[in-house]
Every structure is written in structure tokens, then in C-alpha cells.
Amino acid sequence: MRQTVGTDSLYVNDAVSDRLRMALLDEEYFLKSFRKAPHEPHPDQTGHLQLTSYLAVRRALDLETAEFRTVRVSVRRTDQGLEIYEVDGLGLKDLGD
């Protein structure tokens, strides 16, 4: 059985926070979904974690609708807790990201 980050202090850095605003995604909703997500070792970064969750994300060219997307984040342990420093799967490429 995979472990989850659970009640560990999970937070996003400023760059990820900006991306969430661009995607019109609520930060608390985002964090809540990843607190329950199973984690695995990051394939490219020793000592870091990768978490995957499924989120309702607004469509880039039609903001009145949303679709469920597979979203992956990269996490590292810091003095403040577990920092989400990278996010993939928000569909921001259509917005010039």
C-alpha cells in the first residue's frame, strides 16, 4: 500500500501559486487533493517525491467548463514542511506557458 503525505505541512512555492492562479484553480482545493494522494520517489530527483491526483481543471479556451486532468507535482522537504515546487498537467500551454 502506498503512503500519503497526510497531515504533513504541504505548501506551494510562489511559482506554483502563480500557475494555479493562471489556471483559475483554488489553492486550498489543490492542496487538499494532494494531501490524500499516494506518493512515490521522484524519478529524476533523489530524495524528492512525486504525487499524482485527478483534478477538475478549467479548459484554457472555454473557462465556463472544466475537465478532469491527471496532475503531477514534485515535492521536496524543507524547513517549513513539504514544498510543491513543480506542477504538470494544468493545461497552461494554450495560454503561452
Number of domains the chain contains: 1
Give the pLDDT score at 9. 86
Give the pLDDT score at 14. 96
Give the pLDDT score at 5. 63
Q: Give the predicted TM-score (pTM) of the model.
A: 0.82
56 with 68: CB under 8 angstroms?
Answer: yes
Range of the domain at 90: 10-95
Neighbours of 68 (CB within 10 A): 9
Average pLDDT of the segment spanning 71-97:
83
50 in a structural domain: yes
What pLDDT band is residue 39 in, cutting at 50, 70 and 90?
confident
How far is the CA of 96 from the CAs of 6, 58, 65, 83, 93, in angstroms?
34, 16, 20, 25, 5
16 in a structural domain: yes
**Residue 48 pLDDT > 60, yes or no?**
yes
